[in-house]
Amino acid sequence: MKQKKYFIIAALILVIGIFIYLAFLRSPEKNKGGNARDSSFGKLATQIEGFIVKPSTLVDEIEVSGTILPFDETILMPEVAGRVVILNLKEGKMVEKGTLLVKLFDEDLQAQMRMLEVQLKIAENTEQRMRTLLNVQGTSQQEYDASLLQVNNLKAQIDILKVNIGKTEIRAPYNGVIGLKKISVGQYITPLVQIVTIRAVSTLKLDFSIPEKYGDAITANTKVDFSVAGLSNTYEAAVIATESSIESESRNLNVRAVISGQIKGIIPGSFAKVKVRLGSKDNALMIPTSAIVPQASQKKVYIARNGKAAFIDITTGVRQSGDIEVLSGIKPGDTLVVTGVLFIKPNSPLKFSKVK
């Protein structure tokens, strides 16, 4: 029994000795690891970069999407039903204003016209005889007035018939390019049938929309730049008008501009990237966005003061690419910390590896 007790005590002493030995072996590794961390922080400290604040010119602009449109675009449709007897639609070709494009059957109307013209000639001869008789008191004023009324009535009927004949002719409303025709000769068409689309492409329009907060910055003759996919150049357009109200759903203001000159390769309906200049500042303070340390309700930056980090509040303005405008909080000549800001504490010493 005593031997068993001594054996247990010896085992406990052995286990305790092993733990003490292992702890002794690990203690240098801890110290070594601590030195490694210290050296890591030192390495981070040497990688801190600075940025000297300098005034620069800031062009405030926004980029929105737009659509290239023809200056005028009309879907031609007949006013009356009828059979197509003449079709002068040269697809993809330019036509002049007033060119006859489509003619519908009108022989019945032409026959009525000839009949009314004969009746008018007879009525005019009768009116002339009645006037001669009236001058010599050979007829009454009432009979002469009746003959004159007949002449005027026939002229009115002829005018109505001319209008109806004109409805059988579809002419180009302006100089433009004919699209793809949708009818053929001999086809019977009604006022619901679309014949063709004509577009005035000698001048193009650019339609786009901007957020409502920028509405006051857009006026007539405001210049905008745009680019189109497939073309490497940037082109200019001048605003001619804006919509009279803001769209209730998108909260945007629709704007229309006219493209300067004819540009080869731009097709109506193309998508365009539009850059709208809202203004410019000559002494704007622009800093890298990486220098900003966001807080709950404000923005802060670290600046170097007497070799130490000062944590100050700033107010920002326009953001452009990787830079942002600072409205208050810093001044020209201040040196900002732009890298390693998350590892710096207020009043900690600063050592810059590079200053831009």
Instruction: Provide the CATH number for the domain around residue 227.
Output: 2.40.30.170
Q: How far is CA 33 from CA 40, 43, 44, 343, in A?
A: 10, 15, 17, 19
Q: Is residue 136 part of a domain?
A: yes
206 and 181, same structural domain? no
Q: Is residue 9 part of a domain?
A: no
Structural contact between residues 285 and 302, judged by C-beta atoms closer than 8 angstroms = no
Instruction: Provide the CATH number for the domain around residue 127.
Output: 1.10.287
Q: Is residue 35 part of a domain?
A: no
Per-residue pLDDT of the chain (356 residues; tens, 9 = 90+): 555 555 666 666 765 666 565 555 454 444 444 444 444 444 444 468 888 888 887 777 788 999 999 999 999 999 999 999 999 999 999 999 999 999 999 999 999 999 999 999 999 999 999 999 988 888 889 998 999 999 999 999 999 999 999 999 999 999 999 999 999 999 999 999 999 999 998 889 999 999 888 888 888 888 899 999 888 888 999 999 999 888 888 889 999 999 977 788 888 999 999 988 877 777 888 888 888 888 777 888 888 888 888 888 888 887 777 888 888 888 888 888 888 887 888 888 888 877 87
Q: Is residue 14 part of a domain?
A: no
Instruction: Provide the CATH number for the domain around residue 88.
Output: 2.40.50.100
What residues contact 289, with CB distance under 8 A and at least 6 apart? Answer: 319, 322, 323, 324
Compute the distance between CA of residue 63 and CA of residue 203 in angstroms, rounded to an integer: 23
Where is 22: in which H helix or E strand?
Answer: helix 2-46
Structure tokens, 235: 């082109």
Give the side-chain half-sphere CA count within 13 A for 217. 16
The pTM of the full predicted model, rounded to 2 decimals, is 0.63
182 and 99, same structural domain? yes
288 and 348, same structural domain? yes
231 and 182, same structural domain? no
**280, 305, 328 - which closes a domain:** 280
**Other Cβ atoms within 10 Å of 323 Cβ, number:** 17
Range(s) of the domain holding residue 263: 63-70+198-280
Compute the distance between CA of residue 112 and CA of residue 124 in angstroms, rounded to an integer: 18
Q: Is residue 37 part of a domain?
A: no
Q: How many structural domains are present in the chain?
A: 4
